[in-house]
């Protein structure tokens, strides 16, 4: 079923706009009305890339799906604080391993054979889980290119806000 949008139109005396026949209404987001149907009606059109991006944040149906997934994750995996703590442990372990590897590669401290054996076993375990399908990567599920684009945008936007808003205001406050 194709996804399509229809531009809202002004109606007289508070009349409601008519729904396209046989279409499933998904709600209003990004300034347009969203639908799914077997065919796109003449008044409809495919959404733009910007509208799709906004829909992933604003569309009520998507917001409900995200909320439902978050509740299930919390019930089955743990609350946000537990997940963040797990991620922090993983980042620490990866940071230490990367520092050991970088130091050795760059001509610094050479890793002991015990450390190499330990890290190799951990790496092999992760690769084996990926190869067997026991570990699915979210980037692969969502689409690595989409995930990378989203995370790069978010990281850049956070840095822009910190650089243009927070740091100058902090500097002004402290000096």
Q: What is the pLDDT of residues 61-86, one digit of tens each?
A: 889 999 999 999 999 999 999 999 99
Say whether pLDDT at 12 is over 80. no
127-168 pLDDT, tens digit each: 999 999 999 998 888 888 888 888 899 999 999 999 999 999
Q: What is the pLDDT of residue 69?
A: 92
Distance (Å, whole) CA 131 – CA 155: 30
Say whether pLDDT at 9 is over 90. no
* DSSP β-ladder status, 32-36 and 24-29: antiparallel
Q: What is the pLDDT of residue 147?
A: 83
**Burial of 31 (C-beta count, 10 Å sphere; 0-12/13-18/19+):** exposed
Q: 4 has which bridge partners?
A: 35
Q: What is the pLDDT of residue 44?
A: 92
Q: What is the pLDDT of residue 142?
A: 83
- The token duo for 101 is 């590897």
How many percent of the chain have pLDDT more than 70?
95
């Amino acid at each position: 079923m194709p996804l399509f949008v229809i531009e809202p139109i002004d109606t007289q005396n508070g009349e409601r706009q008519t729904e396209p026949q046989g279409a499933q209404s998904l709600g209003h987001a990004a300034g347009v009305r969203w639908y799914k149907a077997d065919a796109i009606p003449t008044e409809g059109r495919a959404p733009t890339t910007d509208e799709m991006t906004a829909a992933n944040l604003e569309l009520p149906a998507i917001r409900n799906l995200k909320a439902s997934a978050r509740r299930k994750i919390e019930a089955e995996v743990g609350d946000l604080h537990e997940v963040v703590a797990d991620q922090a442990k993983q980042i620490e372990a990866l940071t230490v391993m990367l520092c050991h590897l970088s130091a050795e590669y760059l001509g610094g401290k050479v890793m002991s054979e015990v450390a190499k054996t330990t890290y190799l076993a951990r790496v092999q375990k992760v690769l084996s889980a990926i190869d067997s399908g026991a570990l699915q990567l979210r980037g692969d599920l969502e689409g690595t290119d989409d995930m990378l684009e989203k995370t790069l945008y978010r990281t850049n936007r956070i840095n822009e806000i910190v650089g243009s808003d927070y740091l100058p205001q902090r500097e002004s406050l402290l000096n």
